Homo-oligomer: A and B are copies of this chain.
Amino acid sequence: MHVDLLNPAQSARTAHLLHQHAPLVHCMTNDVVQTFTANVLLALGASPAMVIDAGEAAQFSAIASAVLINVGTLTQPRAQAMRAAVESANAAKTPWTLDPVAVGALTLRSEFCRGLLQLQPAAIRGNASEILALAGESHGGRGVDTTDTAATALPAAQKLARESGAIVAVTGEVDYITDGQQTLAVQGGDPLMTRVVGTGCALSAVVAASCALPGSRLENVAGACALMKFAGQQAAGGRGPGSFMPAFLDALYAMNAEVAA
């Protein structure tokens, strides 16, 4: 199982492309992380929008540059709206990304996510437990937490990538990004990122945005992972998770401003 370290220049390159192309990201995400997700995309120069009625979501998928499907607070009506958005995205060739939050132990989301795998996701981003469960290798972790390291789930991620055609990012202390053949590893980040809600979900939104960029999708998705880890490192060193959050958004914005300069 060969793994390459991502070229350290890729995170600035992805930040530059995000700033330059300002993708409009249609985020169908969970209730808990909507504000933070929007602010992360805005700090990077991308443009978030949340539309959740089934009819409107389908209309919007055709306008948007990218779609994010995050099942953290899934309900039956939202599942229908998400499915409509994905089908419309596919018809419009808009790339869509899946964040299978807490898939495994909970029935509605597990069946829904497995069904979505047939609909050609551009990317999938999850923690080890989620990727293992989505690949059918386990029954998932303790809610949103993972009880496995990302490396443990790498074979499942590679299998999932080959079967679904998606770039799969399994993230943790080290992130692994794979298309099923080639695998890139991304180091960095800070433990405080796990004490702030939504860093993983917001990463999935940046992954979704990166799928709208030109160039290698594998490298752009890995670049999305890398720039979030870089901002996490920049923001650490404060007094705790409260001061971490503004510092994290400022660090993302600084990457955006640097590449703009």
Residues of A at the B interface (CB closer than 8 Å) are 24, 30-36, 38-39, 42-43, 47-53, 55-56, 59-60, 63-64, 72-77, 102, 105-109, 142-145, 194-198, 238-243, 245-254, 257
Contacts and interface: CB of A to CB of B under 8 A. Distances in A.
Contacts of A240: 43, 249-254, 257
A55 B107 contact: yes
Contacts of A64: 143
A161 to B, nearest CB: 27
A198 B245 contact: no
A55 to B, nearest CB: 6
14 contacts: A33-B35, A43-B195, A47-B143, A47-B144, A47-B145, A49-B102, A52-B75, A56-B108, A59-B106, A60-B143, A239-B250, A240-B252, A240-B257, A241-B253
Contacts of A33: 35
Nearest to A60: B106
Contacts of A59: 105-107
A52 B35 contact: no
Nearest to A253: B240
Contact of A75 (B48, B60, B77): B77
A30 B50 contact: yes
Contacts of A32: 34-35, 38, 50
Nearest to A22: B145
